[in-house]
Amino acid sequence: MSAENQAPTESTLPRPVRVAPAHAPMSQFAIVNGQLMVGGMPLDRVAARVGQTPFYAYDRGLLRQKVALLKATLPRQVKLHYAMKANPMPAVVGLMAGLVDGIDVASAGELQVALDAGADPAEISFAGPGKRDIELHQSVAAGVLVNVESLRELPALAAASQALGVPARVALRVNPDFELKGSGMKMGGGPKQFGVDVEVVPQVLAEMHRLGLAFEGFHLFAGSQNLRADSICEAQQKSFALAVRLAQHAHTPVKFLNLGGGFGIPYFPGELPLDLGPIGANLHAIQAQAQTELPQASLVIELGRYLVGEAGVYVTRVVDRKVSRGQVYLVTDGGLNHHLSASGNFGQVVRKNYPVTIGNRASAAEREVASVVGPLCTPLDLLADRMDLPRAQIGDLVVVYQSGAYGASSSPQAFLGHPRCVEVLV
């Protein structure tokens, strides 16, 4: 029997071509003559202006664009807050304070930056487990809203209010009885250190009332880094329904309902940008319902990385180019000490590459597979694992995209004693 007459077997069938998943296109920064344009300036000139590598650069125009996109999508009445832990650089907070409706802080240190930036204290809220008495005292003095996460905070707030002669403004952060499905980080549902379990909300509300604290509303935050619009819509619906139920136990009308956020950005191969359309439509529906069910409440969405993440790059210079047993290593002057998250060590279960390019040769025809490693004496210091990149030389600028959130401030800059990075807003 000739080969042609045989029934196809697994080995004779054409092999399915396995296309490696690609990163979502990073089109937010134009490329002109091979140079990435950041803040309207070629990257090598930005580097010259900064005067050192490594650095983070955040693009003002892109930050403005992102806020404008959200404002065009959200119902007019829904307030947009910036959760500044995503990027607490004072200049960024200053810019954002002028663009959004409020700032969410997670410590007295962040509160100080927000106040310095000129944010209106009436539109600042403070959430976080383990708020110290002094932080609660500072918050009352500043006149900001405190999202209470424990019964213990109540007497401290009442004491601060009495000592200062200033009313304490409080909302209750609720640990919901559901999760935000498909989140990179779950922050609600099941046992959690965040917020107060739904089951004990009536008791905490009664205690707030007994202590004479001015209750303003509820805060629900189910999770972070979500790219599924349907999951976000479902969590918003459930959060709203839960708040309506809980409002029956409150002694005063709900004036403020923070529905959380969790909007994600694409970091890894195969991830697609979040589709804002359905989320906008969902919030319009919820806003309409709120008009009758919680008529005095302002709805709030709080976003961190979605607002700032895509507007920033981390830039580090190639100090060595080595080949080890056939594999190319670009050794740079910064790595996990400045950008823990891009190294895969900030809560990721499986390490994957962030989108990376060579920012001063971004359109080079000559490419190669190379790994980018930082200068730290640990194999964890890896910014790109065998990626297809423009062929780089010593002195070139490696760019890590999607670096505007959870970068400098969430990295162990003292680890191994290398210089700190610089941050610029351009």
Ligand X SMILES: *Cc1c(COP(=O)(O)O)cnc(C)c1O
Binding site for ligand X (CB under 6 A): 83, 85-86, 104, 127, 221, 224-225, 261, 302-306, 405
Least separation, in Å, of the C-beta of 71 and ligand X? 17
Q: Where would I find the beta strands (DSSP E) of 226-286?
A: 256-258
Provide, rounded to whole angstroms, the least separation between the CB of residue 24 and ligand X.
Answer: 17
**Least distance between ligand X and beta carbon 346 (Å):** 12
CA distance 108 to 136: 8
Q: Is 100 helix (H, G, I), strand (E, B) or coil?
A: coil
Q: How far is the CB of 82 from ligand X (least distance, A)?
A: 9
Q: How far is the CB of 128 from ligand X (least distance, A)?
A: 7
Q: State both tokens at 152.
A: 């213990």
Least spacing, CB of residue 125 vs ligand X, in Å: 9
As measured in angstroms, the least distance from the Cβ of 104 to ligand X is 6
Of residues 137 and 219, the one with the C-beta less far from ligand X = 219
The residue among 169 and 361 lying less far from ligand X, judged by its C-beta, is: 169
Region of residue 51 (phi > 0: left; psi between -120 and 50: alpha; otherwise: beta): left
d(CA 188, CA 149): 12
Residue with the shortest CB distance to ligand X: 304
Q: Cβ closer to ligand X: 85 or 238?
A: 85
- How far apart CA 198 and CA 170 sit, in angstroms, is 17
- Contacts with 273 (C-beta within 8 Å, 6 or more apart), sequence order: 24, 227, 265, 266
Under 8 Å CB-to-CB from 72, ≥6 apart: which residues?
Answer: none
Residue 57 or 86 with smaller CB distance to ligand X: 86
Decide whether 126 or 215 has the Cβ nearer to ligand X. Answer: 126
209 Cβ neighbours under 8 A, 6+ residues apart? 215, 251
**CA–centroid distance for 292 within its chain:** 32
Comparing CB distances to ligand X, the nearer of 172 and 405 is 405
DSSP state of 15: P
Max CA separation in the chain (angstroms): 98
Task: State the Cα–Cα distance between residues 128 and 187, nearest whole angstrom.
Answer: 11
Q: Cα separation of 160 and 170, whole Å?
A: 13
**Nearer residue to ligand X within complex by CB, 175 or 332:** 175
**Residue 404 CB, nearest approach to ligand X (Å):** 10
Minimal distance, residue 221 CB to ligand X, in Å: 4
**Nearer of residues 172 and 358 to ligand X, judged by Cβ:** 172
| Closest CB to ligand X among residues 231, 360 | 231
Would you say 53 or 125 has its CB closer to ligand X? Answer: 125
User: Rounded to the nearest whole angstrom, what is the least distance from the CB of residue 392 to ligand X in the complex?
Assistant: 31
What's the distance, Cα to Cα, between the start and end of the chain in Å? 72
CA–CA gap between residue 100 and residue 66 (Å, rounded)? 11
Look up residue 6 and give its DSSP letter. S
Q: What are the respective helix, strand and coil percentages of the chain, to the nearest 5?
A: 30, 25, 45
217: left (phi over 0), alpha (psi -120 to 50) or beta: left
Select 82 or 381, whichever has its Cβ closest to ligand X.
82
Tokens standing for residue 324: 């080890």
Judge residue 71's burial from the number of C-beta atoms within 10 Å of its C-beta, 0-12 exposed, 13-18 middle, 19 or more buried. Answer: middle
CB of 110 vs ligand X, minimal distance in Å: 11
Taking a C-beta distance cutoff of 8 angstroms, is the pair 216, 172 a contact? Answer: no
Please report the DSSP string for 372-391 in residue order.
EE-SSSSTT-EEEEEEEEE-
Distance CA 354, CA 383 (A): 8
